[in-house]
């Protein structure tokens, strides 16, 4: 499993727009499944190799297979490590920031359906050559463990608050049901199962069917809390355990800005936490990254000894494995290959300096050695690849290859879901 932490301005804007239209989570649905019916739609491919549209982000699955999305709202697929790409954009108003790929063949993608004014779901089982469209589904934060079972985290933000509801599918995304979680504190006036967190605080939330983890941040009060404050549940919120993880000795008075926890199996996981201290004039005294490890599924956590300096919140970071982590630190990449026992700065000729006009928009390693980065400067993006852990980089000039146009099969058999009414607000 490879875990990504990326900062996309475009995604933030889209999320803000979605939240403005819907300040609380969307109502859940109770579906009934019938036999499938189909209607076909197709698009036209290029007739020869041409320069690919500007890539805005990518997800590589192995050394050859991967996906990319463009600023022009196209979904691309490569089978040769990013040299050439085939347009696999399905027909319709797709929502590329909710894209999830399980393997080179299976992927899911939200699509906005203007006729019903709701999000639908697309699924491909052949690498994007054909897509099956379902009449409703989550808009983002998809995760699948296999071709049938998955879940989604629906998040709405507004006025410094964050509202989260969960849903799950057991038929490959065709239908979705509400996940009945119980929040740590009762929430009145919201649909059942709504989790209320503080977005201004930089609270973080992790979910899988085994556990839920909430980490509280200090960025709203700007007052050090003295520890990493965690709440964890192993039974969908029926019981919550509170923990206060100790801070490193040299950062005892730091502000805590947590990232999302990462789990590789039922037992082993990592929690990245940014530690911040400011000067009296508001400038940063330091911005550091600490990691905590669990080996019992989250019941207990231990602080790892390596604390990385010059690692700001929201900076691109990828946790490749329990041992291998790559992070943007200043104008370079830093890496650990011993589970945050120690960190090293990766020396290369590629400049990672961030400015208002120049940003690292994608950081994607499939293992400790092979990776890709996408640098954006003056609205132009450049793709680079490394096979030696980031010491040397080779520029890739992506080409758009001629390909068979994708076909969308619309499943008309699933009835329009009935919305569960929002409960009456209580005092």
pLDDT digits (tens, 9 = 90+) for 149-184: 999 999 989 899 999 999 999 999 999 999 999 999
What confidence score (pLDDT) does residue 190 get? 84
Q: Which of 108, 138, 177 is nearest to 18 (CA)?
A: 138
Q: What is the mean pLDDT of the chain?
A: 87
Whether 293 is covered by a domain: the verdict is: no
Whether 170 is covered by a domain: the verdict is: yes
- Give residue 416's pLDDT band: very low, low, confident or very high (50, 70, 90): low
As a whole number, mean pLDDT of residues 227-239 equals 97
- Give residue 422's pLDDT band: very low, low, confident or very high (50, 70, 90): very low
Give the lowest-confidence range in 71-75, 209-213, 296-300: 71-75
Whether 22 is covered by a domain: the verdict is: yes
As a whole number, mean pLDDT of residues 86-96 equals 88
As a whole number, mean pLDDT of residues 48-66 equals 92
**DSSP code per residue over 321-342:** SSS-EEEEETTEEEEESSSSS-
Range of the domain at 335: 3-202+313-417
What confidence score (pLDDT) does residue 106 get? 97
Q: Which of 425, 422, 419 is nearest to 28 (CA)?
A: 419
CA distance 421 to 186: 18
Whether 286 is covered by a domain: the verdict is: no
What confidence score (pLDDT) does residue 240 get? 97
Confidence check: pLDDT of 23 > 90: no
- Give residue 2's pLDDT band: very low, low, confident or very high (50, 70, 90): low
The proportion of the chain whose per-residue pLDDT surpasses 90, expressed as a percent, equals 74
Whether 388 is covered by a domain: the verdict is: yes
What confidence score (pLDDT) does residue 8 get? 38
CA distance 410 to 178: 23
Whether 251 is covered by a domain: the verdict is: no
Whether 307 is covered by a domain: the verdict is: no
Whether 326 is covered by a domain: the verdict is: yes
What confidence score (pLDDT) does residue 208 get? 97
State pLDDT tens for residues 213-225: 999 999 999 999 9
Query: What global pTM score does this model have?
Result: 0.85
What confidence score (pLDDT) does residue 186 get? 83
Confidence check: pLDDT of 40 > 70: no
In degrees, to the nearest 5, what angle opens at C-alpha 373 toward C-alphas 102 and 357?
A: 125
**Contact at 8 Å (CB) between 360 and 351?**
no
Name the domain count of the chain.
1
């Amino acid at each position: 499993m490879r875990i990504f932490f990326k900062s996309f301005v475009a995604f933030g804007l889209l999320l803000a727009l979605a939240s403005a239209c819907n300040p609380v989570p969307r109502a859940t649905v109770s579906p009934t499944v019938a036999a499938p019916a189909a209607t076909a739609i197709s698009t036209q491919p290029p007739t020869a190799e041409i320069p690919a549209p500007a890539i805005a982000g990518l997800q590589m699955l192995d050394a050859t297979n991967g996906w990319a999305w463009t600023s022009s709202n196209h979904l691309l697929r490569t089978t040769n490590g990013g040299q050439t790409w085939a347009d696999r954009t399905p027909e319709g108003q797709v929502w590329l920031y909710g894209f999830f790929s399980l393997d080179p063949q299976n992927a899911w993608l939200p699509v906005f359906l203007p006729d019903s004014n709701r999000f639908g779901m697309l699924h491909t089982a052949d690498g994007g050559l054909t897509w099956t469209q379902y009449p409703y589904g989550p808009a983002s934060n998809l995760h699948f463990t296999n071709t049938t079972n998955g879940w989604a985290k629906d998040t709405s933000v507004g006025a410094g608050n964050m509202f989260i509801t969960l849903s799950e599918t057991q038929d490959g995304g065709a239908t979705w049901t509400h996940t009945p979680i119980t929040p740590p504190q009762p929430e009145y006036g919201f649909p059942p199962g709504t989790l209320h967190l503080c977005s201004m605080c930089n609270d973080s939330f992790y979910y899988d069917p085994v556990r839920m983890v909430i980490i509280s941040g200090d960025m709203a009060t700007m007052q050090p809390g003295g520890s990493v404050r965690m709440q964890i549940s192993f039974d969908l919120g029926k019981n919550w355990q509170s923990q206060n993880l100790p801070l490193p000795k040299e950062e005892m008075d730091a502000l805590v800005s947590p990232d999302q926890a990462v789990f590789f199996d039922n037992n082993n996981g990592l929690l990245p936490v940014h530690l911040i201290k400011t000067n009296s004039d508001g400038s940063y005294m330091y911005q550091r990254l600490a990691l905590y490890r669990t080996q019992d599924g989250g019941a207990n956590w231990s602080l790892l000894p390596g604390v990385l300096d010059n690692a700001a919140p929201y900076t691109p970071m990828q946790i490749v494995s329990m041992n291998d982590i790559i992070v943007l630190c200043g104008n370079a990449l830093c890496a650990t290959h011993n589970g945050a026992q120690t960190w090293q700065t990766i020396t290369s000729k590629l400049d990672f300096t961030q400015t208002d006009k120049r940003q690292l928009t994608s950081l994607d390693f499939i293992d400790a050695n092979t990776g890709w980065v996408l640098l954006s400067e003056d609205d132009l993006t450049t793709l680079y690849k490394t096979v030696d852990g980031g010491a040397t980089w080779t520029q890739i000039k992506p080409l758009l290859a001629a390909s068979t146009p994708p076909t969308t099969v619309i499943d008309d058999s699933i009835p329009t879901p009935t919305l569960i009414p929002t409960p009456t607000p209580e005092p």
